[in-house]
Amino acid sequence: MRMLAAALTLCLAGAAIAGGPFHDTPAGPRALPGDNLPPFGMLDDGGRLPPPPPLPLGLGAPPASVIPGPTMAQATRMARAAVLACARGGFHVGAAVVDSEGHMRSLLEGDGADGSHGFVAMRKAEAALAFARPSSQVGALVAATPALIAKVTPAMFVEGGALPIRRGGKVIGAIGVSGAAGSPIGRQDEICAAAGLRAL
């Protein structure tokens, strides 16, 4: 009985860590998935730094996420391949790989990029993920079927540059690229995203 109680305590401690004080503050509607900030260690509305709450003791907390998506190694390889493909063409870009719920798996900014492109790439990836198609097709699809605007969130950037990632016929994530010049917007980004997909 004591062992069962101890095991239950460890499970509850892990759950408290995974879903507790680190995910208490949802950000605004323009926030990306995963933009949930802890309610401590950052300035609050009153200009104070709240201290961290007491955390349960215990090792071996369960994973915070077990949803389908590329592994860290796969996501990093794809993002790197996309950034390097664009760099060979003289473009300084950022790339983002997300899982099946839009959570970040890899974010990479190329040398010479301004530090913002990866976040725009993630917003493109959100569009490719939600519509299970290249982000370059989403704008026209929504224009043709206005009811689909309900699937577009304020966090998305609906332009070319992102592709869904499939495994066994199911969409498990998306890769987005941003920062390459050219017209139409995102065409070169999407070419680089395709290079990232090939690295998978």
**SS3 sequence, the chain?**
CHHHHHHHHHHHHHHHHHHCCCCCECCCCCCCCCCCECCCCCCCCCCCCCCCCCCCCCCCCCCCCCCCCCCHHHHHHHHHHHHHHHHHCCCCCEEEEEECCCCEEEEEECCCCCCCHHHHHHHHHHHHHHHCCCHHHHHHHHHHCHHHHHHCCCCCCCCCCEEEEEECCEEEEEEEEECCCCCCCCHHHHHHHHHHHHHC
Residue 31 has a pLDDT of: 86
pTM given for the model: 0.82
- Averaged confidence pLDDT in the chain: 86
Q: How confident is the model at residue 12 (pLDDT cuts 50, 70, 90)?
A: very low
Domain limits, the chain: 1-64, 72-199
Whether the pLDDT of residue 62 is over 80: the answer is no
Distances (CA, A) of 199 to 69, 70, 76, 77, 172: 15, 12, 10, 7, 16
Checking if the pLDDT of 64 tops 80, the result is no
pLDDT at 59 over 90: no
Q: What's the rounded mean pLDDT across residues 148-175?
A: 96
Quote the CA–CA distance of 108 and 104 in Å, as a whole number. 11
pLDDT reported for residue 60: 65
d(CA 80, CA 159): 21
Encode pLDDT of 66-109 as tens digits.
889 999 999 999 999 999 999 999 999 999 999 999 999 999 99
Tens digits of residue pLDDT in 118-150: 999 999 999 999 999 999 999 999 999 999 999
Higher-pLDDT residue of 183, 83: 83
Ranking 1-5, 23-27, 80-84, 153-157 by mean pLDDT, the lowest is 1-5
CATH class of 72-199: alpha beta
User: If pLDDT is split at 50, 70 and 90, which confidence band does 10 have?
Assistant: very low
Mean local confidence (pLDDT), 46-58: 79
More confident residue, 160 or 53: 160
pLDDT category of residue 15 using cuts at 50, 70 and 90: very low
